[in-house]
Amino acid sequence: MTTELSRARAIVDAAHRIVVLSGAGLSAESGVPVFRGAQGLWKTHRPEDLATPEAFRRDPRLVWEWYAWRRQVVFACAPNEGHRAIARRAAQGRFAVVTQNVDGLHARARAELAAQEVVGYPLLELHGALQRDRCSGCGARSEAVAVDGTSTATLPRCVRCGSLLRPDVVWFGESLDLSVLDTSFRLASEADVCLVVGTSAVVHPAASIPLATRQAGGVIVEVNPEPTPLSRHAAVSIAGRAADVLPRLLD
């Protein structure tokens, strides 16, 4: 075991309450593309064309085409040993998971355990979920439907008000769900350890959540092959992949 891993393990083992903040890197080993860096989605796709409310108003067909492809990729993926290690530890109690990921893989890892009748735990999806649609008019949420992106006329519409449906995710410039955000900050401030996994920590307000743990006297432990803006605030940074490190850190 490396020095960083043993130090992190001592911190985690002594903790009374742990909160995880996860990002796309946690799901990378499941085959879900990350956003930034050489292999990231934003290398070949412009976020301002695909992940803003203005982009959807301008060209909903193009945005849906991209999300239909994302759903196809993500729905074919499964949780990895990183998601599973988090779920196993979380099911022991005093543990919460806050994720920026929209892939539903934390929920699937928790559901795998639920089949073994273990306790549930808080799971907060800050940026929404690809598994759901939301009405762009009245805001009603529904289970994702298949999308015919032949033209704007064939795109799915709300059964209540007739407005276009959109994926239930948070785009740039949009507000996060305030109750989800408040709960995430509260859980972080009550935790003695915030375990930050697989996020570049550049998107706010999510990237500020671990600082609430620190401001309340707790510590940050980071798992990421690369340094991030949060690294200088972390008590320990483990330079490794989530699916390798998390089972050794949490089991």
| 204 given a catalytic annotation | no
- Asked whether position 158 contacts Zn ion by CB under 5 A, the answer is yes
- Asked whether position 161 contacts Zn ion by CB under 5 A, the answer is yes
Listed residue (242, 243, 203) closest to 221, CA to CA: 242
Q: How many Å apart are CA 154 and CA 52, to the nearest integer? A: 21
Nearer to ligand BJW, 94 or 214 (CB): 214
Listed residue (54, 52, 36) closest to 44, CA to CA: 36
Listed residue (24, 11, 81, 18) closest to 199, CA to CA: 24
Residue 237 CA to its chain's centroid (Å): 20
Residue type, 20: V
Q: Which of 170, 220, 236, 249 binds ligand BJW (CB under 6 A)?
A: 170
Please list the residues that pair with 195 across neighbouring strands.
20, 221
Is residue 237 left, alpha or beta, with left meaning phi > 0 and alpha meaning psi from -120 to 50? beta
Residue 136, binding choice from Zn ion, ligand BJW, none, Cβ under 5 to 8 Å by partner class:
none
Q: How many Å apart are CA 93 and CA 9, to the nearest integer? A: 17
- Asked whether position 98 contacts ligand BJW by CB under 6 A, the answer is no
User: Cα dihedral angle (228, 229, 231, 232), rounded to 10 degrees?
Assistant: 150
Residue 228, binding choice from Zn ion, ligand BJW, none, Cβ under 5 to 8 Å by partner class:
ligand BJW
Nearer to ligand BJW, 29 or 153 (CB): 29
Residue 158, binding choice from ligand BJW, Zn ion, none, Cβ under 5 to 8 Å by partner class:
Zn ion
Chain positions 32 to 71 lying near ligand BJW, rule: CB under 6 A, are 34-37, 40, 51
Of 11-19, 23-31, 108-116, 185-193: span binding ligand BJW (CB under 6 A): 23-31
Residues belonging to the active site: 127
Residues that bind Zn ion (CB under 5 A): 135, 137-138, 158, 160-161, 163
Q: Which residues bind ligand BJW (CB under 6 A)?
A: 23-25, 28-29, 34-37, 40, 51, 100, 102, 127, 169-176, 178, 181, 198-200, 202-205, 223-226, 228, 241-242
